[in-house]
Amino acid sequence: MSSLIPRGPPAPPPPRASTSANAGDRPSTSTSTTASSSLAPPKRPGHRSVKSSHYNDAPDELDLSLKRGGSTGAGSQKRTRPVSRVLVADSAALHAGAGPSTLLPRVSPPLSTVTGNEPILPAFDAPLPTISPEARLHRRYGPPRSTSSDASAQWPADLLLLDQAAVAEQTKLVLLFVTGNPGLVSYYRHCLSTLRDTLPADLKNQTVVHAIGHLGHTPGMTSAERRGFRPNGQATLEDQVADKVAYVDELNETYRFGEPDAPKLVLLGHSIGAWICLQVLKERPTLVSSVHALFPTISHMAETPNGRSLSPLFSSWSLRPVFYSTSFLSYLPTGLTARLVSLLTGQSGSGAQVTTELVSSPETVLAALVMARHELATVTSLDEALLQQYGDRVWIYWAQENGDGWVSEEAVKEIETCLEKSWGEKGRKRRERCREGMPHSFVLNEDHSTSLARKCASWIVDDLQSSNGP
């Protein structure tokens, strides 16, 4: 092996022909000819070499001071490119007192006004790639409680935003998703991203997606006033509805739903989120174009199989041991808690991560249990008047027969009868039974989330094409 390593420095290259005007320093003709013939390729008869050029090859007379960071001369020729207008999303998080105007995209300054050492883009104005922006998690605060004017009476809520792509046009569709219980918006990140990306290309670039969680369902909230066992300090179901109505009003200040050429507002709700969406439709019928109810729990919740079996868990005497059990989990290392969650629930990936965050937050678990107790007491008889008046705007996706522990078959038949009587064939096409074996908690399975997201995208397109909304 060592015999292959060269010994000593490499030999110097052969000397080149000198261009000196001094004849005494010029090498002999034979030497010059030999050196030239050994380095230059042979010339073809009649061929004339031409120096190639590229758009990035800068002639001496062009001023590249922008690239070098220098100053431009008065008589120099400046290399320029057509100015591109690029839409960028505002990254300001929603917070208390923040107006909905922060949700609108803003336009970046033209390239000619940018100063500093920014890189120069290519000389041609190539189209920008359509890249779907990632979902961004924010935290907002709901309206104050009616019983107190103190700012500390406000509950936090998580908000997931999927802005328009960088090359987006004017907004034509706003999707607002209301989560189930526990209402952690991070569970729905994959589903909503798939829904947005499944829309036709032109509509996708004109769509904004929002997912709003429930008040108090915010793991990681460490404010002192929220800590501890406080079941009476949690938001009621009426508070949750009022918060969603207030958020629709905030969006309306920006988008002016219902006005000519304004974007459509489509509500999507899962489980109890579907019931909340119907209440928003009832409160703001001129703003909401349609409601998509996914595995909806909109009547007789206490009479469902899960309502009967799990109601003791939501009672006052069981809240305290559940709270302190989750408090113990919050002191365990995150890795150990994640392993326990995966072992007990069978979840993996992002779903297991979100569940780990949930069970490690005793205040969030308490808020979810209190909300469930309010659901059993509030969601009782069917609101037939609502369906009779607005049933033509409601899309429903049921689980397969006897496949949903939170929806009884008697409740399904009652709803179907009400809609059939009021809307007939027009309403029948807006209702579908699952044939894929999806459970009520479909969002915990990525394949189920993908499939249902694609169905929702198809329904939204059909709805927009068949009607002009309210």
pLDDT for 411-442, tens place per residue? 999 999 999 999 888 788 899 999 999 999 99
Going by pLDDT thresholds of 50, 70 and 90, the confidence category of residue 90 is very low
Min mean pLDDT across 91-105, 270-284, 324-338, 354-368 is at 91-105
pLDDT digits (tens, 9 = 90+) for 170-201: 899 999 999 999 989 999 999 999 999 999 98
Residues in the chain: 470
Q: Look at residue 233 and tell me if it is in a domain.
A: yes
Q: Look at residue 267 and tell me if it is in a domain.
A: yes
Could you tell me the residue range of the domain that residue 236 belongs to? 132-143+154-466
Q: Look at residue 245 and tell me if it is in a domain.
A: yes
Per-residue pLDDT at 145 exceeds 60:
no
Q: Look at residue 56 and tell me if it is in a domain.
A: no
Going by pLDDT thresholds of 50, 70 and 90, the confidence category of residue 363 is confident
Mean pLDDT, residues 57-65: 41
Per DSSP, the three-state class of 405 is: coil
Among residues 144, 139, 176, which one has the least CA distance to residue 158?
139
Mean pLDDT, residues 154-175: 80
CB neighbour class for 54 (10 Å; exposed up to 12, middle 13-18, buried from 19): exposed
- What confidence score (pLDDT) does residue 40 get? 47
Alpha-carbon distance of 28 to 464, in angstroms, equals 87
Q: Look at residue 338 and tell me if it is in a domain.
A: yes
Alpha-carbon distance of 369 to 45, in angstroms, equals 91
Per-residue pLDDT at 241 exceeds 70:
yes
Residues of the chain with pLDDT > 90: what percent? Answer: 42
- Within 10 angstroms of residue 285's Cβ, the number of other Cβ atoms is 14
Per DSSP, the three-state class of 87 is: strand
Alpha-carbon distance of 419 to 415, in angstroms, equals 6
CATH of the domain at 173: 3.40.50.1820
Q: How many domains does the chain have?
A: 1
- What confidence score (pLDDT) does residue 224 get? 55
Q: Look at residue 187 and tell me if it is in a domain.
A: yes
Q: Look at residue 453 and tell me if it is in a domain.
A: yes
Per-residue pLDDT at 295 exceeds 50:
yes
Alpha-carbon distance of 289 to 308, in angstroms, equals 35
pLDDT digits (tens, 9 = 90+) for 43-59: 555 545 544 444 344 44
Q: Which residue has the tokens 């994959």?
A: 190
Integer angstrom CA distances of residue 79 from 55, 68, 115 = 11, 12, 15
Q: Give 337 or 202, the one with higher predicted confidence.
A: 202
Per DSSP, the three-state class of 221 is: coil
- Within 10 angstroms of residue 31's Cβ, the number of other Cβ atoms is 13
Asked if 284 and 245 count as a contact pair (C-beta separation under 8 A), the reply is yes
- What confidence score (pLDDT) does residue 354 get? 84
Per-residue pLDDT at 18 exceeds 80:
no
Mean pLDDT, residues 57-70: 40
Q: Look at residue 77 and tell me if it is in a domain.
A: no
